[in-house]
């Protein structure tokens, strides 16, 4: 009987894990870099859950030379006792049964829905090996899996009074397109987690490069806001902080204004970055706008109809809102939008009360902030007038396309693409090599305006930008309308040198700030033109960087090869450009994703902000990573 049920059990386990191997994208989103990093996030989330529940204050992440990763925590340790129904140790349940990774109790703020919390069994199924060590009940337990199947029974390998879990896994290269873990992605997430969980220490080491870093922030999200504002001139010394605990929902808010024009508001639910926002973010925004308007009406003799909009209230604002709650519902394209509608009201009324109270107690800070918003309102009015003027000049009229756009014949946006090409000569080659049926060319002349520094009114006076906007057809800012977009692939094509990099970063900044939906919808791409042409005998290869070049030379042998390095797109003839950039079957495009809005914003403010010093530091630090940056 026992034997039978055990066998029945192992059959379902195999079926579960086979389903994961068969359709990995269903469980982790995709099998590219994003999916790969999701494996680590999945393991990490379990350790974070222990921290949230108050049992863990140290997490270590180690990348090994062979590409495997270890996550160590000092939580309670995965249970090792025999599961009463399944008759196998708890740790085996967690490793082999889908969605079983969660706590069996219901006390912690467990994540649910979407890609989040699919369970460690998914990581196990997609790994060549997974080793687990549990410290619990006075012993050290160990077990090993290969491709999801156990290859040893859980055994005691020593004694200890410590508690904790240690998991090491090596992603299966037959499943993933890339198995290269990237420090920048990992470090951004670890820092974010350390900010969001005050008192938690996270240690990251990379044995490939001998880097070790530690993240620990006593101030929690207050430190987060200080960090985001570190290169800015702030309007009040300390971030405003609210800590609300209502109806089993914890809401933390930290905010601080700087003298810039951008808004950087990041929202989280149970440590997940809700890039698409949702009910908690709407509640916060509504409350902030209402407090500013009410305070200025009551205390600032400001009744001449200058109503502050949400955008006015958030100009120069840096804020973090972090919510912890039971059973969050995640919606949206990337499952990062909070759907629970009751949260809006809870956040709205409590943030309104907390902020009003703060303003009453700190009238000079309140006034500084409101003056800033009133200025924004006036600038908004100026921008509206400038826009109207531009419109009258018919530059933005949806009917008239800019003269320099070489449009395609196709009218269906989903079948059309546009290349934004740096310089007239490269654009000429582009026009000669494209398929005019569905490929349009937009030549960009010189540098576009640095939009981080400029307000909308200036943006509308820049001709490069206005003609780009009319070429795309979708409008900008609050008037952005995705359904009017004329191309569903917008491809940035620049030289692989420092000028090209700069232009491409400027364009990214522009899109990120003014048409974020375009990125969220997956419409923005960066072309990867090759850096080298390698000819050996009758065969020609194009490779995009030095690493790929070395790899190729190893494969084909380095004797009797002719290697040409392209200095710019201008050096390619139209056949070469056609083959490497236009040809759907041969080209490589990089899709731009706002996987991590915090990271994107950081890069943009570091590279594009006012302060010169951090920018120089950044370029210096990353110069080795940015290939062909010929500064
Ligand atoms: C199930 C139940 C309990 C803890 C865990 C799982 C757990 C899982 C992981 C994964 C990585 N680190 C982990 N730490 C803990 C609760 C155990 C109890 O009640 O003592």
Listed in order, the ranges of the chain carrying CATH 3.40.50.670 are 401-529+589-625
What's the pLDDT at 300?
82
Question: What CATH class does 401-529+589-625 carry?
Answer: alpha beta
How many Å lie between the centroid of ligand 1 and the Cα of residue 90? 9
Task: Give ranges for CATH 3.30.230.10 in the chain.
Answer: 221-381
- Ligand 1 centroid vs 104 CA: distance in angstroms? 9
Distance CA 534, CA 529 (A): 14
- Cβ(50) – ligand 1 distance below 6 Å: yes
pLDDT at 386: 73
pLDDT the model gives residue 53: 86
Residue nearest to atom 12 of ligand 1 (CA): 47
Q: Is 119 in the pocket of ligand 1 (CB under 6 A)?
A: no
* Contact predicate 313/319, CB 8 Å: no
Percentages helix, strand, coil for the chain (3-state, rounded to 5) are: 40, 20, 40
**CATH architecture of the domain with residue range 221-381:** 2-Layer Sandwich (3.30)
User: Which protein residue has the closest C-alpha to ligand 1 atom 2?
Assistant: 103
8-215: which CATH architecture? Answer: 2-Layer Sandwich (3.30)
Which pLDDT does position 155 carry in this prediction?
98
- Spatial contact of 267 and 281, defined as CB atoms under 8 Å apart: yes
pTM of the model: 0.74
Is 76's C-beta closer than 6 angstroms to any atom of ligand 1?
A: yes
Question: How far, in Å, from the CA of 41 to the mean position of ligand 1?
Answer: 16
Backbone φ, ψ for residue 62 (5° rounding): -125, 125
Please check whether residue 421 is in contact with residue 382, taking contact to mean a CB–CB distance below 8 angstroms.
no
Going by CA atoms, what residue is nearest to atom 1 of ligand 1? 103
pLDDT at 184: 83
* CATH 3.30.565.10 placement within the chain: 8-215
For ligand 1, whether the C-beta of 47 sits within 6 Å is yes
Cα(78) to ligand 1 centroid in Å equals 4
CA 50 to centroid of ligand 1, rounded, Å: 7
Taking the alpha carbons at both ends of the chain, their separation in whole angstroms is 73
Catalytic machinery residues? 422, 495, 497, 499
Q: Is 124 in the pocket of ligand 1 (CB under 6 A)?
A: no
Q: What is the CA radius of gyration of the chain?
A: 27
CA contacts within 13 A on the Cβ side of 205 = 10
Reported residue count of the chain is 631
pLDDT per 10-residue tile (average), the chain, 631 residues: 47 76 91 93 92 93 96 97 92 87 49 61 97 98 97 98 98 94 89 94 95 96 94 95 93 96 92 92 98 91 73 95 92 86 97 98 96 90 74 54 92 96 88 95 77 66 85 85 94 82 78 85 89 91 84 88 86 89 88 67 60 58 40 25
Measured from the Cα of 90, ligand 1's closest atom is 1
User: What pLDDT does 629 receive?
Assistant: 31
Question: What whole-number distance in Å separates Cα of residue 38 and Cα of residue 29?
Answer: 8
């Amino acid at each position: 009987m026992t034997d039978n049920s055990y066998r029945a059990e192992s059959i379902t386990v195999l079926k579960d894990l086979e389903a994961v191997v068969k359709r990995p994208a269903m469980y982790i989103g995709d099998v590219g870099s994003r999916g790969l990093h999701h494996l680590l996030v999945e393991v990490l989330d379990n350790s974070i859950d222990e921290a949230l529940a108050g049992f863990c204050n140290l997490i270590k992440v180690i990348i090994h030379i062979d590409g495997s990763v270890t996550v160590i925590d000092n939580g309670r340790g995965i249970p090792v006792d025999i599961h009463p129904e399944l008759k196998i140790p708890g740790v085996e349940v967690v490793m082999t049964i889908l969605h079983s990774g969660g706590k069996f109790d219901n006390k912690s703020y467990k994540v649910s829905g979407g890609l989040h919390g699919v369970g460690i069994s998914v990581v196990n199924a997609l790994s060549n090996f997974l080793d687990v060590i549990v410290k619990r009940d006075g012993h050290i337990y160990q077990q090993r899996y290969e491709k999801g199947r156990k290859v040893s029974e859980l055994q005691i390998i020593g004694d200890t009074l410590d508690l904790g879990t240690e998991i090491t896994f090596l992603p299966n290269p037959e499943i993933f397109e890339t198995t290269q873990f990237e420090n920048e992605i990992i470090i951004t997430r670890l820092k974010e987690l350390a900010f969001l969980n005050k008192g938690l220490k996270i240690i990251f080491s990379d044995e490939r490069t001998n880097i070790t870093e530690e993240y620990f922030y006593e101030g929690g999200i207050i430190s987060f806001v200080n960090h985001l504002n570190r290169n800015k001139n702030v309007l009040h010394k300390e971030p405003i902080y609210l800590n609300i605990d209502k109806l089993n929902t914890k809401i933390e808010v930290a905010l601080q204004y700087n003298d810039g024009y951008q808004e950087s508001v990041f929202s989280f639910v149970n440590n997940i970055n809700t890039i698409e926002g949702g009910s908690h973010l709407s509640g916060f925004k509504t409350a902030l706008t209402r407090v500013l308007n009410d305070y200025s009406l009551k205390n600032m003799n400001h009744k001449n109809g200058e109503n502050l909009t949400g955008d006015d209230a958030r100009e120069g604002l840096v804020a973090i809102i972090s919510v912890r709650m039971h059973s969050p519902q995640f919606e949206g394209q990337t499952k990062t939008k909070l759907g629970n509608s009751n949260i809006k009201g809870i956040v709205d009324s409590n943030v309104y009360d907390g902020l009003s109270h703060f303003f009453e107690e700190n009238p000079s800070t309140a006034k500084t902030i409101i003056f800033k918003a009133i200025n924004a309102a006036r600038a908004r009015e100026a921008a509206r007038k400038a826009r109207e003027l531009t419109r009258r000049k018919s530059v933005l009229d949806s009917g008239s396309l800019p003269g320099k756009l070489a449009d395609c014949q196709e009218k269906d946006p989903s079948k059309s693409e546009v290349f934004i090409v740096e310089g007239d000569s490269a654009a000429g080659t582009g026009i000669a090599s494209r398929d005019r049926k569905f490929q349009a060319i937009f030549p960009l002349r010189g540098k576009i305006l640095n939009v981080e520094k400029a307000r909308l009114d200036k943006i509308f006076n820049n001709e490069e930008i206005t003609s780009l906007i009319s070429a795309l057809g979708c409008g900008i800012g609050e008037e952005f309308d995705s359904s009017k977009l004329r191309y569903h692939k917008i491809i940035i094509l620049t030289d692989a040198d420092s000028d090209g990099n700069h232009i491409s970063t400027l364009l990214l900044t522009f899109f990120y700030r003014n048409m974020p939906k375009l990125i969220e919808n997956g419409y923005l791409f960066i072309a990867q033109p090759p850096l080298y042409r390698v000819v050996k005998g009758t065969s020609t290869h194009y490779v995009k960087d030095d690493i790929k070049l070395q790899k190729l030379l190893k494969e084909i042998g380095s004797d009797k090869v002719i290697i040409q390095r392209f200095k710019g797109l201008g050096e390619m003839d139209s056949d070469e450009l056609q083959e490497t950039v236009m040809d759907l079957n041969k080209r490589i495009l990089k899709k731009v994703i706002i996987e991590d809005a915090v990271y994107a914003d950081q890069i943009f403010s570091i590279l594009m902000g006012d302060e010169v010093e951090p920018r120089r530091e950044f370029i210096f630090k990353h110069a080795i990573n940015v290939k062909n940056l010929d500064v």
